[in-house]
Structure 1
């Protein structure tokens, strides 16, 4: 209850456009199981479809009025190649880490680009609702928040399934659409043993185009008070 009281007080008189929720998720290389149709009489039906345990990390950032900020993609790799950043959604940012997940350096780059572009364009108080990523925060990020009137509301641990707006309203339908896109891609490219990073940006573009219908759900959920790195931006 303390979290909700704090959230309600912090969001008081703040415009929906000034309320932001971000969350890290991943898109896997496994389209999951699905129903298949086989000729009558086949005793041992089998669908051969390559898949791996690989995944690509993404940070989604959405305002309470349903605006999707540029997506930030992190590949698991030592280097970032130009072929991996072509054809994605407008403004998408790309980076890489050895683990394939966000670390403090990549998070700072994400904050300096995606978050600060949003914050600098708006007057008045800004509020960010997110998981308790204290390990990702540093002095530089905190100073930026103080300079640009940004406040954090940290979601209590072990409660994101009911209190994280993107988890509640967006990621489930997003991943359902992703599995369908990935399945189609794998059926059209049966010789690929894993998801080719050269193809990922275009698949991501298709995913974003198809999930725009869920923006109203994001808006509703967000408005309820309950080594070295390198980044590249793709514009077309």
Structure 2
């Protein structure tokens, strides 16, 4: 089986999507949410269109950081963790591999797990565990995920659109509420169930040419070396001073004179 794992981030800050209004209206009202809390979403899907339970990483230093979230409204089997910045780390990557991937990938061996080159995906402990479990871990080269990563090709785009739509509808229907730790899980669940469909997931593997295998799926220009770019930078110009401005200015050469330097010693010093 071929799997792809990657992360995407979400903030509680939300700008409304397009709002229907009468033509010519200058100011169209729309509710926004200004909380800046960040949550990282870890997703893993396979070439048959299946998905694993998500991992949500919230900002915080202790397990108490998760307590404010309405975890019962998240998708079934969701695992929660915390990190200072809310991003993936070596510790969380290793925990995800053991507690989610190995428990949900099935007994078939070997299996292939495709990841990007983030350091948390290449920790020594994670690689060693993969070797023990006969899981082949393939790290994608830098700057190739937009061509080679199924989640980037056909899943995260629809997910972001579905999440934004869910947030806009929620804010319009609940004037006294906002997007926060308590309301986020249900909005995430709505977007997750809509975007991570079997069709979307399989489309990503097909678009990358991974499964079914298709070496022609990647356009020829993707293989070209980077081209050097040249930007013309004009040198600054300075106005030349006019003769009038120098009319009262004159520069004279310094005058040097040779005189004896007084001395308190008995020797004479001659200056030539």
* SS, match of residue 49 in structure 1: coil
Moved more, 160-169 or 59-68: 160-169
1:1-236 paired onto structure 2 within 5 Å? 18-38=1-21, 44-78=27-61, 79-81=65-67, 83-119=69-105, 121-192=106-177, 195-211=179-195, 212=197, 214-221=200-207, 222-223=210-211, 224=213
Give the structure 2 partner of residue 8 of structure 1.
Answer: none
Gaps of 5+ in 1: 1-17, 227-236
In structure 1, how many angstroms separate the alpha carbons of the residues matched to 2:111 and 2:143?
25
CA drift of 1:39 comes to 5.8
Greater relative contact order: 1 or 2 (C-alpha under 8 angstroms, separation 6 or more)? 1
Once superposed, what is the RMSD of the aligned Cα atoms?
A: 2.4
CA drift of 1:105 comes to 1.0
Q: Which has the larger radius of gyration?
A: 2
In structure 1, how many angstroms separate the alpha carbons of the residues matched to 2:32 and 2:8?
24
CA drift of 1:136 comes to 4.3
Which has a greater percent of helix?
A: 1
1:81-113 CA-partner distances (Å, limit 9, x unpaired): 174321211111111111010111111111111
> Contact 1:57/1:100 (CA < 8 Å) preserved in 2?
yes
> Contact 2:16/2:32 (CA < 8 Å) preserved in 1?
no
Gaps of 5+ in 2: 216-272
1:106-139 CA-partner distances (Å, limit 9, x unpaired): 11111111111134x2222111111012344333
TM-score (norm 2): 0.68
CA drift of 1:33 comes to 4.6
